[in-house]
Chain A
Amino acid sequence: MKKQILALTAMLAIAGLASCTGNNSTTEKMKVGLLTLHGEDSTYDKNFIDAFKAACDAKGVDGKVQTGVNEDAGCTTAADNMVDDGAKLIFADSFGHESHLLASAKKAADVQFCHATGTQAHTANQKNFHDAFASIYEGRYLAGVAAGMKLQAMIAEKADTSKKIGYVGAFPYAEVISGFTSYYLGVKSIVSDVTMEVRYTNSWYDENAEKTAANALIDGGCSIISQHADSWGAPTACEAKGVPNISYNGSTESQCPNTFVISSKINWQPYFEMCIDAVKSGKEIATDWTGTVDTESVQVTALGKKAPAAGTQEKLDEVKAALKAGTTKVFDTANFTVKNAKADTSEFSKASYITMDADGHLTGYLADVDDDGKYVGETEAIKEANGKKYFAESEMRSAPYFDILIDGISVGA
C-alpha cells in the first residue's frame, strides 16, 4: 500500500515536470497582461477584464489576467513575473498600483506599462510608463441627468418627495469627488434645488460598508442613491428598499430589476486596442490618454426596464449631442458655487487655491495636477471656451483633479 502511494507520487511529479517543459509550442502571438485589484466579483475589475478579453480576441493577441493584485509590492512582483513570461504590454487597473508598477517599468525598458486612473506618468519621466483615464465626468453627468428626470417624476407623483439624494463614495480624493460632482451637476440641471449627501467607505470594495452607507443615506431621507464603489452592496441595498439606484462600471439590472436606472462606465476596450496596435507597430503610446464620448470610452448603459422616468432617453440623447458639440460644459462655472469651500479652514482646505467672484462662482482655481505627494495646487484649471468659463477637467492629465466640495453637496458621517 505504501509502495503504491510512493509510486503514484513519483509518477505525478514526473508527469508534471514533463508537461511543463513540453508546453511552449507554436504560439507566436504577442503576450499582453492585465493586473486587477480584485476578481470578477468586483464590478470595477470585471469591467476591465471583459474589455481586455474582448480587445485581445479582436487583435489576436495572447492575453493573461492576474487577479487579486494588491496595491503593494505584490504588484511589482506580478508585473515582473509577466515580463519574465514574455509580456510586451502590461496594464494595471487600480489607483494604488501606480508606484509599484512604475518600479517594474524602470526595470524593463522594452515593455510598455499602462496604468489606468494614475497621476504620475506626466512627471515620472519614464518613457515606457503611461497613464490613462476617460472623461467619465461626462458619463456621470449623463447618468445624473437620468437621475434628475427620475427625481422630477417622483416629485410629480408625490409632492413631498425629498429633494436630497445620496452618494456612496470610496475615498475622499479627486477621482471620486469629480465623479460625484459631475453626477450632481447632471441632476441639478433637471431639478435645480437638489442637494446631495456623500458618505465615504474608505475602501474600493467593502460590500458591508457600502451597504451600511447606502442604508444610512436612505434612512436619512435620500430619494435616489448612486455610488463610486466596486461591490454590489449599495445597489442591492437600494433594491431591498425600493430606492432608485444609479450604478457605476456596469448594469446592475440582473440583481436589481426594480430600481436600476442607468449606469455610467468607462469602456476600456478602445484604449487596450490602441495600445496593442501601438506596440505591434512600434509606435509610441501617449503619456496621458483620456478617452472621451467620441472614442466610445465613456458610455452609459441602456436604461433600466422599470425604474427610469418617461422621456429619459430623449433627454439623454439631447444632452449627449450638446456635450459632443461643446455647447454644454459639465463643469460650467456658472452652474455651481463654492462659497463653502472658500470658507473652509480645515487642514486640507482648498480655500487658498480658489478665486471666487461676488456670487460665489469660480473664476480661478489652482489644481493639484502634478502629484508629488505634497497636495499643493499649482496648475490653473479654469479656462474659457465659447464664452463660458469652465473647469478644464482631464485636459492637463488623464486622471481627474476636480477636488472641490461645491455648495449643495455635504459629507455625512
Chain B
Amino acid sequence: MPEKMTAKKEKSKLFHVEKRFDMPLWQSILIRFGFIIVALFIGLLILTISYGVNPFDAIGSMFVGSFGTEKRIWDFLRDGVLLLGVGLALIPSFKMKFWNLGGNGQIIIGALVSVILMINLGGKYPDAVVLLIMIPSAILAGAVWAAIPAIFKALFNTNESLFTLMMNYVSVGLVNAFIMAKYPIGSHVIPRIDDAHFPSLYNGSLLIIIIIAVLLGGMVYYLKFSKHGYELSVVGESMNTARYVGINVKKVIIRTIIVSGALCGFIGCLLASGVDFTVTPETGNNMGFTAIMAVWLAKFNPIIAAGTSFFIVFITRGMTKVQSDNNIMNDATPNLIIGLIYFFIIGCEFFVEYKLLINKGGKEMKITEFIKSLFTSKVEKVKLPPEAEAAVEEEEVK
C-alpha cells in the first residue's frame, strides 16, 4: 500500500534560502547590474538630501568626471589600466587561494626602489640607462616582498593573509625612514623628481595603457594556455588532486606568489616614474585593496577584471567630480557613496548564489512568483510519475 502523498502541515518559516546550482550568465549579470543601479540611486538620494544636489546633474558630473575633456579621458584610461594591472597581479595568487593582501606593500617597495634609483642615478646617467636598471630592480623588489610570506607559507604553513598584510606596514615604514633620512626639512614629502621619467608616447598615459594591455594578454595566456597556469588552477581548485598527480604544491605556490609580487613591483615602478614622480607612504592609493574588489567581482577572470576596474575608476572619479562641482567640502561623503556601492555589489552576491523562497500557504515559491500570485489565485499542481499518480488517486478515492 503506497504511503500518503500529501505533506503534513508543518510549522514552516516565512523565508527559505536555497542554494542555486546553475544560473544563466545573463541572469547573474542582470542581478549585479540591477544592484549597482540601486546603490547609485540610494547614493544620489543621500547627496540630494544632504547637499541639495540635483541627481541628474550629479549623474552628468559622473560622466564628465571621466569623459568630459580629452585629458580626463586619458586619465580615466590610465587610472583604470593601473588598477587593472594590480588586479592582474593578484589574480594568479587568488586563483590559488593564496590571499595576497600585500599588494600595497609590493607596489610601494617597487616605487621606493625606483625612486631611490631615480634620485641617485637620474641626471647623472641617461634616462634610458636608469630605466633599464630601475625596472628590473622594482620587479625584483616586489617579487622578494611577496616571496617572503610565500616561503613561510610553504614551509611552515603560516597565515599568508596576516603576513602579507604586515609586510605592507614594513614597506610604509621603509618609505618614511627614507624620507626622514633624505628630506628631513619640510613637510615630509619628496618633491617631484625631474629625471628618469618613464618614456612618454604622445602623452604620459598611452604607453602605460599599451603596456598593461599587453600584460592583460599575457596573463590570459598564462592562466589558460600555459603549463604554469594549469598547475596553478589545479592547486587552487583541489590541492589533493595536485598532489595526486605529483605537482609540487610548494613550488607552485612560491612561484605564483613571486609572479604576483613582481607585477605589483612593476606597477610601483610605473607609478614612481610615470605618474607621481615621487614616492609617499600612500603611493598606490590603496590599489592593493581596491584591486581585490575588482578581481573578485570579475570572478578572477582577467578580461572581466578590465571591465570591473574601469567601472570602479569611473565611480571614484565621478564622485570626486560631483564633490567639487557641488562644493562639498567634506571628504567623507564621496567615500560614503563609494562604500555604499561596494556594499551593494558584494551583497548582491548573496542573491546570485542563493534563491530566496517565500512560504505562502505551505508552498515555497520564488519571489517573482510570489508577487505574481498576489494577483492571481491559481495554484500549480505538482506532477507525479504515473505509478505514484495512480496511488494518489487511489488514496483520494478512499
Instruction: State yes or no: do A and B touch (Cβ within 8 Å).
Output: yes
Q: Which residues of A contact B (CB under 8 A)?
A: 1-2, 5, 8-9, 12-13, 15-21, 23, 38-41, 49, 64-68, 70-73, 77, 80-81, 84, 94-96, 98-100, 102-103, 170-174, 202-204, 348, 373, 375, 403
Other-chain contact of A171, B59, B186, B278 (Cβ < 8 Å) = B186
Residues on B with beta carbons closer than 8 Å to the beta carbon of A13: 59
Q: In the complex, A174→B185 CA distance in Å?
A: 8
Q: Which residues of B contact A (CB under 8 A)?
A: 30, 33-34, 37, 54, 56-64, 68-69, 71-72, 75, 180, 183-189, 191-192, 275-278, 280, 282-283, 323-325, 327, 329-332, 368, 371
Q: In the complex, A13→B36 CA distance in Å?
A: 13
Other-chain contact of A40, B63, B330, B371 (Cβ < 8 Å) = B330
Residues on B with beta carbons closer than 8 Å to the beta carbon of A39: 329-332
Given contacts A95-B186, A172-B184, A375-B185, contact A66 B324 (CB under 8 A): yes
- Contact between chains at B64 and A65 (CB < 8 Å): no
Q: Within the complex, what minimum Cβ distance (angstroms) separates B187 from chain A?
A: 4
Given contacts A16-B56, A38-B331, A67-B329, contact A73 B275 (CB under 8 A): yes
Residues on B with beta carbons closer than 8 Å to the beta carbon of A65: 324, 327, 329
- Contact between chains at B185 and A173 (CB < 8 Å): yes
Q: In the complex, A80→B275 CA distance in Å?
A: 14
Q: List 29 A-B contacts (CB under 8 A).
A: A2-B30, A2-B34, A5-B37, A9-B33, A12-B59, A16-B60, A18-B56, A19-B54, A20-B64, A23-B57, A39-B329, A39-B331, A40-B329, A40-B330, A66-B324, A67-B323, A67-B324, A70-B282, A81-B69, A81-B72, A96-B189, A98-B191, A99-B191, A100-B192, A171-B186, A172-B185, A173-B186, A202-B188, A375-B185
Residues on B with beta carbons closer than 8 Å to the beta carbon of A98: 191
- Contact between chains at A15 and B59 (CB < 8 Å): yes
Contacts A16-B56, A68-B331 aside, 10 further interface pairs with beta carbons under 8 A come to: A1-B368, A16-B60, A20-B59, A20-B64, A39-B331, A71-B189, A84-B72, A173-B187, A203-B188, A348-B185
- Contact between chains at A20 and B185 (CB < 8 Å): no
Q: In the complex, A171→B179 CA distance in Å?
A: 12
Q: Within the complex, what minimum Cβ distance (angstroms) separates A146 from chain B?
A: 27
Residues on A with beta carbons closer than 8 Å to the beta carbon of B75: 77
Residues on A with beta carbons closer than 8 Å to the beta carbon of B325: 64
Residues on B with beta carbons closer than 8 Å to the beta carbon of A102: 192
- Contact between chains at A16 and B330 (CB < 8 Å): no
Other-chain contact of A99, B60, B192, B332 (Cβ < 8 Å) = B192
Q: Which residue of A lies closest to B69 (CB)?
A: A84
- Contact between chains at A81 and B184 (CB < 8 Å): no
Q: Which residue of A lies closest to B327 (CB)?
A: A65
Q: Which residue of A lies closest to B59 (CB)?
A: A16
Identify the 5 closest CB pairs spanning chains A and B, nearest first.
A20-B60, A16-B59, A99-B192, A96-B189, A99-B191
Residues on B with beta carbons closer than 8 Å to the beta carbon of A64: 324-325, 327
Residues on B with beta carbons closer than 8 Å to the beta carbon of A348: 184-185
Q: Within the complex, what minimum Cβ distance (angstroms) separates B139 from chain A?
A: 22
Q: Could you count the A-B residue pairs with CB atoms below 8 Å apart for me: how many are there?
A: 124
- Of the listed residues A73, A172, A204, the one surrounded by the most CB atoms of chain B closer than 10 A to its CB is A73
Q: In the complex, A20→B371 CA distance in Å?
A: 38
Q: In the complex, A20→B59 CA distance in Å?
A: 8
Residues on B with beta carbons closer than 8 Å to the beta carbon of A17: 59-60, 63
Q: In the complex, A39→B62 CA distance in Å?
A: 21
Given contacts A19-B59, A23-B57, A99-B191, contact A84 B368 (CB under 8 A): no
Q: Which residue of B lies closest to A37 (CB)?
A: B187
Q: In the complex, A2→B31 CA distance in Å?
A: 9
- Contact between chains at B37 and A23 (CB < 8 Å): no
- Contact between chains at A41 and B60 (CB < 8 Å): no
Q: In the complex, A17→B63 CA distance in Å?
A: 7
Q: In the complex, A8→B368 CA distance in Å?
A: 19
- Of the listed residues B33, B180, B189, the one surrounded by the most CB atoms of chain A closer than 10 A to its CB is B189
Residues on B with beta carbons closer than 8 Å to the beta carbon of A103: 192
Residues on A with beta carbons closer than 8 Å to the beta carbon of B330: 39-41, 67
Residues on A with beta carbons closer than 8 Å to the beta carbon of B59: 12-13, 15-17, 19-20
Residues on A with beta carbons closer than 8 Å to the beta carbon of B186: 95-96, 171, 173
Q: In the complex, A94→B186 CA distance in Å?
A: 11
Q: Which residue of B lies closest to A13 (CB)?
A: B59
Q: In the complex, A72→B187 CA distance in Å?
A: 12
Q: Within the complex, what minimum Cβ distance (angstroms) separates A76 from chain B?
A: 8
Residues on A with beta carbons closer than 8 Å to the beta carbon of B276: 72-73
Residues on B with beta carbons closer than 8 Å to the beta carbon of A96: 186-189
Residues on A with beta carbons closer than 8 Å to the beta carbon of B72: 81, 84
- Of the listed residues A23, A174, A204, the one surrounded by the most CB atoms of chain B closer than 10 A to its CB is A23
Q: Which residue of B lies closest to A101 (CB)?
A: B192
Q: Within the complex, what minimum Cβ distance (angstroms) separates A16 from chain B?
A: 3
Q: In the complex, A49→B276 CA distance in Å?
A: 26
- Contact between chains at A80 and B189 (CB < 8 Å): no
- Contact between chains at B34 and A5 (CB < 8 Å): yes
Other-chain contact of A16, B33, B63, B71 (Cβ < 8 Å) = B63
Q: In the complex, A65→B327 CA distance in Å?
A: 6
- Contact between chains at B57 and A20 (CB < 8 Å): yes
Residues on B with beta carbons closer than 8 Å to the beta carbon of A38: 331
Q: In the complex, A171→B186 CA distance in Å?
A: 6
Residues on B with beta carbons closer than 8 Å to the beta carbon of A100: 192
Q: In the complex, A289→B37 CA distance in Å?
A: 50
Q: Within the complex, what minimum Cβ distance (angstroms) separates A100 from chain B?
A: 6
- Contact between chains at A19 and B60 (CB < 8 Å): yes
Residues on A with beta carbons closer than 8 Å to the beta carbon of B64: 20
Q: Which residue of B lies closest to A63 (CB)?
A: B327
Q: In the complex, A9→B37 CA distance in Å?
A: 7
Q: Within the complex, what minimum Cβ distance (angstroms) separates B355 from chain A?
A: 15
Q: In the complex, A204→B283 CA distance in Å?
A: 18
Residues on A with beta carbons closer than 8 Å to the beta carbon of B34: 2, 5
Q: In the complex, A9→B57 CA distance in Å?
A: 15
Residues on A with beta carbons closer than 8 Å to the beta carbon of B62: 16
Q: Within the complex, what minimum Cβ distance (angstroms) separates B90 from chain A?
A: 23
Residues on B with beta carbons closer than 8 Å to the beta carbon of A41: 330-331
Residues on A with beta carbons closer than 8 Å to the beta carbon of B371: 1
Q: Within the complex, what minimum Cβ distance (angstroms) separates A220 from chain B?
A: 24
Q: Which residue of B lies closest to A45 (CB)?
A: B329
Q: Within the complex, what minimum Cβ distance (angstroms) separates A110 from chain B?
A: 16
Q: Within the complex, what minimum Cβ distance (angstroms) separates A358 from chain B?
A: 30
Q: Within the complex, what minimum Cβ distance (angstroms) separates A228 from chain B?
A: 11
Residues on A with beta carbons closer than 8 Å to the beta carbon of B61: 20
Q: Within the complex, what minimum Cβ distance (angstroms) separates A66 from chain B?
A: 5
Residues on A with beta carbons closer than 8 Å to the beta carbon of B63: 16-17, 20
Q: In the complex, A55→B332 CA distance in Å?
A: 26
- Contact between chains at A94 and B187 (CB < 8 Å): yes
